[in-house]
Amino acid sequence: MAITAQTVRELREKTGAGMMDCKRALEEASGHPEKALEILRKQGLAAASKKESRVAAEGMACTYLSADGTCGVMVEVNCETDFVAKNDDFRKLGQDLTLLIASKNPPSVQELANLPLPAGLTVAEQVNLLVAKIGEKIEIRRFVRLTADNGEKIGSYVHLGSKIGVLVKIKGNQMTDQILKDVAMHVAAAHPHYLNRTDISADVVAHEKEIYRAQMNDSGKPVHILEKIVEGKIAKFATDVCLNDQIFIKDPTGKKTVSQILKEVDSSLQVTCFARYQVGEGIEKKKA
């Protein structure tokens, strides 16, 4: 079977593999597109297997937001180097994944890997082909999908060239896109761990108290005084890690919390949910 430029181009569009890789696969398959596709898949699996033990701590946080703000998706896709994180094919994979998650709502990364992309290959197959083409380990680490109920709207923000991604969900009457963006930017900059103080587990509070008590072991202060100091430190800890209690980064006075700023706009406004991904957080990177 003759190998035409059109056949090579169609195989490339379907797989995302390089033009020369597609041409070589077609030559090995005697011009049969389906056999060539199978050859490329096997090459991708082999390449992915060889790179399985390597560390992928770079990458991108990619977001999708529906036009009406009722659905938001964020996915973290990892690679080994920042250079690859800027690769067009790598970034397209991230965008394709957000659209797929938005439409199919898979329950896990494993389920996502088995879903077909528009070109016909599954996510896992497309990732393996990209591994073979780019030459680095690529992993889909995690994703989140938020939907808005009545009176809620979702906003998104991506910072530092896709190194930090944020989704926020706010409800209230006087909702604006600017409010959503400002709160999402605050989450990116201030890195809250919880929405409210009540979300902090008893175990976390106990652990923090233990640290504070250890810090003051040799202070010589009476126990009842020490406990008051510890409680004060816990209150300060809560304001540092809870979104609603954090000082809003865009407040010119440097005194008003996120919750206070929202209430000043409209008493009905409140953040109901947020998600923040920082690429590679928690992954032990290779040392130079």
Any domain includes 249: no
CATH number for the domain that contains residue 43: 1.10.8.10
- Using pLDDT thresholds of 50, 70 and 90, give the confidence band for residue 145: very high
Any domain includes 179: no
Pick from 147, 163, 179: which residue ends a domain?
A: 163
Same domain, 83 and 41: no
Per-residue pLDDT at 15: 74
Any domain includes 187: no
pLDDT digits (tens, 9 = 90+) for 57-96: 999 999 999 999 999 999 999 999 999 999 999 999 999 9
Same domain, 76 and 114: yes
Pick from 133, 163, 193: which residue ends a domain?
A: 163
- Using pLDDT thresholds of 50, 70 and 90, give the confidence band for residue 53: confident
The identity of residue 211, as a single letter, is: I
Any domain includes 118: yes
Same domain, 69 and 45: no
Q: Which of 91-100, 209-218, 230-239 has the highest mean pLDDT?
A: 91-100
Any domain includes 142: yes
Mean pLDDT of 245-253: 95
Per-residue pLDDT at 42: 76
Same domain, 152 and 78: yes
Give pTM, 2 decimals. 0.81
Same domain, 130 and 65: yes
Mean pLDDT of 18-41: 84
Any domain includes 99: yes
Same domain, 89 and 30: no
The tally of CA atoms less than 13 A away on the side-chain side of residue 81 is 8
- Count of structural domains within the chain: 2
Q: Domain of residue 21: give its range.
A: 5-50
Across the chain, what does the average pLDDT equal?
91
Same domain, 83 and 116: yes
CATH number for the domain that contains residue 105: 3.30.479.20
Same domain, 152 and 67: yes
Same domain, 67 and 159: yes
Any domain includes 247: no
Same domain, 64 and 145: yes
Same domain, 102 and 118: yes
Same domain, 86 and 111: yes
Pick from 131, 163, 195: which residue ends a domain?
A: 163
- Percentage, residues of the chain above pLDDT 70: 96
Per-residue pLDDT at 60: 97
Residue 19 has pLDDT above 70, yes or no: yes
Any domain includes 20: yes
Max CA pair span of the chain: 90
